[in-house]
Structure 1
Amino acid sequence: MNLSASLLVVAAVLASGLLIAGPALRRRYPVAWWLCLGFPAASLRVVRTWRPLMAGCGLAVSRKAALTVVSGLVGNGAPPPQPRVPRYGFIRPTRGGFWFLVRLLPGQVPEDFVKAAPAMAHDWEVHAVRVTTPKPGVVHISALAADPLKEPRAPKQRTAGRLLRVAVGVLESGAQWVIDLREVPHWLIVGATRSGKSTLINALVAGLARQRVALVGIDCKGGMELSLYAPRLSALATNRAQAVKLLGALVDLTLDRMALCRAARVRNVWGLPDEKRPVPVVVIVDELAELFLVANRSEKDEAQAAATALIRIAQLGAALGLYLVAAGQRVGSDLGPGVTALRAQLGGRVCHRVADPGTAEMALGDLNPDALIAAQSIAPEEAGTAVLASADGWDRARSHLVSETDAEAVAEEFAHLTPCIPELVEAVGGASVNDGPAVHFERLDGDAGTEG
């Protein structure tokens, strides 16, 4: 047996072994299965179907005018020329899919390929295809072999991770969904009942509870939601009157930190020496609408005071170590101009399934129309699935399943990290939320530990 025949036999044996072990390999090592078997097969389907797919979707262009073809070619017995199709580049694998670039033909626009995305997914036998535009004249086509949002797996977190950075779920691309308050300091989270909003907040609180940060809660529904994390909260307001006082104290805190930075001639708290840098504060507002709904004149004054304080915190807080996460079932312009002004300061947006289109419009409408359409298409059975958007773009994602019991246990476990900030405690009645001993951090440690 010569060398070429031996190589063929070895290749056949390896291929047969991979096919037999394929199902088990896919279950235990999905990434390895995809790179060894799934991706080569998908690449062959792309190559085989590209020309008929482009023709069927109206993306192929005739090389010559009809009269020239008839008189010059068909009349002479020659077959008509094949239509031109867009050229695609090298197909590159990802952990759960692939991507490549396509050069547009004259007269084509990216929207033509966006409309063809469902047909691409069916022909290539993949879960979904997304089309984006990295630069004029080129589209980026990415495909996902399976739905990574179906069963997201929470990573085992051994350390606190990088300061103010929490992995809360998984993106549709298969990458981790990370909320980094140092990069995007303020967030708006919306979603109807049982849409996954509370689960996302649980995941965020569970991650931040392990870090040396102060958590402050505002829950005007009597504290029914955020009181679960009471051992880890430095302060909790359970009605609007308390919320107004607490927000006022937070504004005063920002002014004090501003004076500290000015005296040290730095532009933000991260420029201060370690021994003078104050602890970061993350303010979590649950059910934002409760702060803005009014029934009489006195409530209107309270609502206006709360809105003004929230806007000031959002405007000044990022540089001074104060971060805002505002959540609600319904957030719309009908709640007053304060909501729209606040929305403009919240650079990160997360929209779960919502009960009214106005809430989705408020969350995503000013950032990306495609993200708005994707959010409005979330089905009731897709609990936990959300569309997140910022100035950098948008993506579909799903938060890790962190139950209230799990989040409560994490709050108890890390209660010893709760900083005592006297001015915030006094604002909500002079009693600390945490019944156990609280620690007053005089300085903020740098970014320590590895990512979980």
Structure 2
Amino acid sequence: MTLEEVMGYAPVLVGAGLTLITVWAVVWVVRYALADTMMRASIRQAVRVRRTWRRLAPMAGLSVTDRTPTALATVASVDGKPIKPRVLIPALKVKPDRFGVVVRASCLPKVGLEEFQKAAPYLADAWRCTRVSVVPDKPGQVVVRGVRVDPLITRTTHTPTGKVPKELARWHLGVDEYAQPVSVDLAEVPGVTVAGLPGFGKTSLVNRFLCDWAPSPAVQFAVADGKVSAAHEGDYADVLGRLFAFVGDDLEAANALFARLVRLRDARSSAIKAVLGRRDMWHIGPSAAWPWVVLIIDEAHTYMRDRKGSDKETKRLAALAADNARLVEELVRKGRSVGILVILATQKATGDAIPTFIRDVCPVGLSFAQKTTDASVAALGDDIRNWPDADPTELQDPAYVGVAVMKLSGRKGFTRLRTPYVNEHQAARIAEATAHLTADPTDLLTAQLADGEVRRILLTKNDDSADGGDSLAA
């Protein structure tokens, strides 16, 4: 092809290039116009990060000098003049979101994870971020997370979709202080503790749990709410239709419910091999016929707190509280493999509220704001003393309503996270739409069994309706 023929294509190539640039510009402008205020600020921030990177990187110590000339530079060199060394700068890919930017950077020799972490404070200042974190990505890359707006003080809401979750045991809690999603796998988890001062987010957290899993017939819920006396009162009145059982602050009724679930655990343990062909339900996962049973005990101290006194009524309540603690301990210690989870919520997770023989075998624990470090230690373990910045006592400001602290597997120290608010009307909507999925797990198991002995164990729940538990089975 001659030079004249090549030049003949030049207008076409130039036109194609201009068209691509125009399309890109239109897409960018439309995306910016449709974004909300926070997202627009992040888009501008992302542009600034890209534009200033080549100048900022050397000043932050994130560049390296390559003194070995390239083959092309060697050929181009004339008169034997020394070839200038090249300054190499890590390549970036920048993505904005509502809280800031996510930057993926390629590492270079002597510019790796440690160097980026050392430079994080300088990057935060230059990018006008509240904080910047650096974590490893795939080999040879790091992820730099810069948040312009502090996610911990930015109130968020959660609107339940009403759809069955893709991962049935994955509990999506919220976002951490870098606006990264935080979730916990509850498969094989027997118990969860949730502590914190009143009004700081415990109920909303549990509401999200209920709303997200209510659309699945493979999950069934029971609630013991120590704040109220009747089912129509309190925080769970709107979701009663999705509960197969509910009790209020009556210790005898709670004792009947806990005993009923212990019998269910015994029966499941006897029948699991015959029905599922496994010794552990989580090897195949829950199903509508063998659902994951979640017992929520709100204000757990109501049911297990030791009573002091010599009068007859105090002795009766003390005996019930001791038996309640024994039954709940059995559910937590033995319920994991047969698909029973206990969530215990209380203001202070001290030994007088949740006995230590129960609390210490619950592998997942969260705490919202606390008044004292001793309460924080009770909820999260003694190691929280080594991380004073994460101590829940620092969360007593109203701006931190909905912020919790927990220990996450694979992360150093403790993680602070913002949990979203779930409107009670949304919870009621989901409960009404999914009420037809409610079933008593005991009845479901009974229907599958022909074994007379197991059936006998099940039927000794005798008079469960008279045990004090409000049966709400569909």
Name 2:420's counterpart in structure 1: 400
Select the residue among 177, 189, 212 that pairs with 1:207: 212
Select the residue among 236, 252, 263 that pairs with 1:252: 263
Select the residue among 429, 433, 451 that pairs with 2:470: 433
Mapped pair 1:39 → 2:51: no
- Distance 1:409-1:19 versus aligned 2 partners, 3 A rule: closer
Deviation (angstroms), 1:241:
2.6
Deviation (angstroms), 1:269:
2.4
Bigger Rg, which one: 2
Deviation (angstroms), 1:219:
1.5
Deviation (angstroms), 1:281:
0.7
Q: Structure 1, residues 133-175: CA drift from partner, whole Å, max 9, x if none?
A: 899xx99753224445525353561422233445454444545
**Does the residue aligned with 1:295 lie in a helix, a strand or coil?**
coil
CA contact (8 A) 1:251 1:312 kept: yes
Mapped pair 1:241 → 2:245: no
Q: Following the alignment from structure 1 to structure 2, what is the Cα–Cα distance between the partners of residues 92 and 202?
A: 38
Name 1:449's counterpart in structure 2: none
Mapped pair 1:159 → 2:166: no
Name 1:344's counterpart in structure 2: 360
CA contact (8 A) 2:295 2:342 kept: yes
Aligned residues: 403
Greater shift, 154-163 or 365-374, is seen at 365-374
Deviation (angstroms), 1:417:
1.6
Select the residue among 189, 197, 201 that pairs with 1:196: 201
Mapped pair 1:373 → 2:390: yes
Greater shift, 219-228 or 5-14, is seen at 5-14
- Distance 1:158-1:225 versus aligned 2 partners, 3 A rule: closer
Deviation (angstroms), 1:92:
4.4
- Distance 1:197-1:12 versus aligned 2 partners, 3 A rule: same
Q: Following the alignment from structure 1 to structure 2, what is the Cα–Cα distance between the partners of residues 44 and 185?
A: 51
Q: Following the alignment from structure 2 to structure 1, what is the Cα–Cα distance between the partners of residues 466 and 96?
A: 52
**Does the residue aligned with 2:45 lie in a helix, a strand or coil?**
helix
Select the residue among 225, 241, 257 that pairs with 1:219: 225
Q: Structure 1, residues 5-55: CA drift from partner, whole Å, max 9, x if none?
A: 999999998999899878635428939x85x65334224555544555569
| Matched letter for residue 291 of structure 1 | Y
Q: Following the alignment from structure 1 to structure 2, what is the Cα–Cα distance between the partners of residues 217 and 124?
A: 48
- Distance 1:43-1:360 versus aligned 2 partners, 3 A rule: farther
Select the residue among 119, 124, 144 that pairs with 1:121: 124
TM-score (norm: length of structure 1)? 0.70
- Distance 1:392-1:22 versus aligned 2 partners, 3 A rule: same
CA contact (8 A) 1:231 1:415 kept: yes
- Distance 1:48-1:273 versus aligned 2 partners, 3 A rule: closer
| Matched letter for residue 305 of structure 2 | L
- Distance 1:113-1:194 versus aligned 2 partners, 3 A rule: farther
Q: Following the alignment from structure 1 to structure 2, what is the Cα–Cα distance between the partners of residues 272 and 132?
A: 34
Q: Following the alignment from structure 2 to structure 1, what is the Cα–Cα distance between the partners of residues 107 and 378?
A: 34
Name 1:418's counterpart in structure 2: 438
| Matched letter for residue 122 of structure 1 | D
Q: Following the alignment from structure 1 to structure 2, what is the Cα–Cα distance between the partners of residues 191 and 115?
A: 35
Q: Following the alignment from structure 2 to structure 1, what is the Cα–Cα distance between the partners of residues 288 and 142?
A: 49
- Distance 1:341-1:159 versus aligned 2 partners, 3 A rule: same
Name 1:361's counterpart in structure 2: 377
Mapped pair 1:332 → 2:368: no
Deviation (angstroms), 1:332:
1.9
Deviation (angstroms), 1:311:
2.6
| Matched letter for residue 348 of structure 1 | V
| Matched letter for residue 341 of structure 1 | F
Deviation (angstroms), 1:215:
0.6
Greater shift, 422-431 or 339-348, is seen at 422-431
Cα RMSD after superposing both structures: 4.7
- Distance 1:319-1:47 versus aligned 2 partners, 3 A rule: farther
TM-score (norm: length of structure 2)? 0.67
Q: Structure 1, residues 121-143: CA drift from partner, whole Å, max 9, x if none?
A: 233212322355899xx997532
Deviation (angstroms), 1:320:
0.6
Q: Following the alignment from structure 1 to structure 2, what is the Cα–Cα distance between the partners of residues 144 and 279?
A: 40
Deviation (angstroms), 1:206:
1.7
**Does the residue aligned with 2:264 lie in a helix, a strand or coil?**
helix
Name 1:76's counterpart in structure 2: none
Greater shift, 425-434 or 193-202, is seen at 425-434
Name 1:229's counterpart in structure 2: 239
| Matched letter for residue 159 of structure 1 | K
CA contact (8 A) 1:95 1:174 kept: no
Deviation (angstroms), 1:216:
0.8
Q: Following the alignment from structure 2 to structure 1, what is the Cα–Cα distance between the partners of residues 378 and 110?
A: 37
**Unaligned 5+ residue runs, structure 2?**
1-9, 64-87, 310-314, 444-457
- Distance 1:391-1:175 versus aligned 2 partners, 3 A rule: closer
